[in-house]
Amino acid sequence: MTVLNENAIASPVGITLDRYIKRKQSEFPFASGELSQLLRDIALAGKIINREVNRAGLIDITGAFGNQNVQGEQQQKLDVVANIRFIRALKNGGEACAIISEETDEIILTGNEHGKYIVAIDPLDGSSNIDVNVSIGTIFSIYRRVSPIGEAPVMEDFLQGGRKQVAAGYILYGSSTMMVYTTGHGVVGFTYENSLGEFFLSHPDLKIPKQGSIFSCNEGYWYQYAECVRLYLDQCKRQGYSGRYIGSLVADFHRNLLKGGIYLYPALPTQPEGKLRLLYECYPLAFLVEQAGGRAINGSQAILDVIPTSLHQRSPLFIGSDVMVKEMERQYLMENQFRHQ
């Protein structure tokens, strides 16, 4: 009698994002499925953006939209599309009571005043690369609201600080589309399978190498960098490290997460507060990298310990492998001590 080997003719496709989230609900005794639903809503919007990105050149949604966002940056058409898609998904999902986005000045009320969560989001990071077909992404951060449920959300809901995040992550739209996130119990990655329309678990326990050999920064700003940053980068070059810079934060971060490295965006004379946004770029990636065994600082302190004061606050960012970020921090502190002697 022939024994049928089922795996030989129909191998398992893996664990879907939805099934994985359901299995992990027990890690959140305070949430009766709401956080899980919120992650599903974000994943759904990510699938839609993946479709829009892949056909952008065919339906005339590349190029500038003609407006500036709250940051004073030229909005791309896909920025606007992504913002609409995520806001719509979060409103319809019913679990988020309010949203802040890079593309809007004020808090966005969803009308779901009984929702327990608020979301901070950069709908389409790296949008300046859209027209040249470079990887771009979405960055998100989730908090439990501090205002009373049933009432209108308030500013304090968004200014709790990075340590109060309950989940954070990103979606990378590249050669494959990936959703990587943490809920404070390690970091997991899912890869999108287009033909089935599902995210499947591909990276069950992401850990960033303690030491890497990649540095990622815009060396065009070399002469504007502080001396400690130039000294650190010179040290990287002397040690034979590779310079890799895409110019899309999510893509640069993702590569370094997998291979080990450091991403640097220091303050500049023209940007003394830094360029990257604290709430929806720095906080979520810092939460994620710490959960993966890495480190994130603004120079002198951990990013997650920086106290927020405004919705669109900016910050310098040094993030990546633990050993590399600690060496950058050592250089930074030495320079500051020298200045104050």
Residue 35 assigned ligand-binding role:
no
Rounded to a whole number of angstroms, the distance between the first and last alpha carbons of the chain is: 86
Q: Are 192 and 177 in contact (CB under 8 A)?
A: yes
Exposed (0-12), middle (13-18) or buried (19+): which is 171, by Cβ within 10 Å? Answer: buried
Residue 113 assigned ligand-binding role:
no
Eight-state DSSP code of residue 256: H
- Mean pLDDT across the stretch 234-257? 96
Residue 186 assigned ligand-binding role:
no
CA distances from 42 to 45, 152, 328 (A): 5, 22, 34
- Mean pLDDT across the stretch 298-324? 97
Question: Count H helices, E strands: the chain?
Answer: 8, 17
Q: What is the pLDDT of residues 95-135, one digit of tens each?
A: 999 999 999 999 999 999 999 999 999 999 987 777 777 89
* The predicted structure's pLDDT at residue 54: 80
pLDDT tops 80 at residue 311: yes
pLDDT tops 50 at residue 63: no
Between vectors from CA 102 to CA 49 and to CA 173, what angle results, nearest 5°?
A: 30
Residue 283 assigned ligand-binding role:
no
Residue 122 assigned ligand-binding role:
yes
pLDDT class of 10 with cuts at 50, 70, 90: low
**DSSP state string for 193-228:** ETTTTEEEEEESS----SS-SEEE--GGGGGGS-HH
Q: Are 145 and 110 in contact (CB under 8 A)?
A: no
Select the more confidently predicted residue: 56 or 166. Answer: 166
pLDDT tops 60 at residue 61: no
* The predicted structure's pLDDT at residue 129: 79
Q: Phi, psi at residue 173, to the nearest 5°?
A: -105, 100
Residue 263 assigned ligand-binding role:
yes
Q: Which CATH architecture has domain 214-339?
A: 3-Layer(aba) Sandwich (3.40)
Which of 294, 298, 256 minimizes the C-alpha distance to 277?
Answer: 298
* The predicted structure's pLDDT at residue 96: 96
Residue 231 assigned ligand-binding role:
no
Residue 117 assigned ligand-binding role:
no
**DSSP state string for 82-99:** HHHHHHHHHHHHS-EEEE
Q: Tell me if residue 78 falls in helix, strand or coil.
A: helix
pLDDT tops 80 at residue 2: no
* The predicted structure's pLDDT at residue 338: 64
Tell me the torsion sign for CA atoms 182, 183, 184, 188. negative
Query: Does 3.30.540.10 match the CATH number of domain 17-203?
Result: yes
Strand partners, 317: 265
Residues of the chain with pLDDT > 70, as a percent, come to: 87
- Mean pLDDT across the stretch 314-340? 90
- Mean pLDDT across the stretch 73-79? 72
The structural domains of the chain, with segments of one domain joined by +, span 17-203, 214-339
Q: Is there a shared CATH topology between the 17-203 domain and the 214-339 domain? A: no
Exposed (0-12), middle (13-18) or buried (19+): which is 125, by Cβ within 10 Å? Answer: buried
pTM exceeding 0.85? yes
Residue 102 assigned ligand-binding role:
yes
pLDDT tops 70 at residue 330: yes
Which of 301, 31, 46 minimizes the C-alpha distance to 181?
Answer: 46
Residue 101 assigned ligand-binding role:
no
Give the integer Cα–Cα distance in Å for 115 and 144.
Answer: 9
- Mean pLDDT across the stretch 21-36? 74
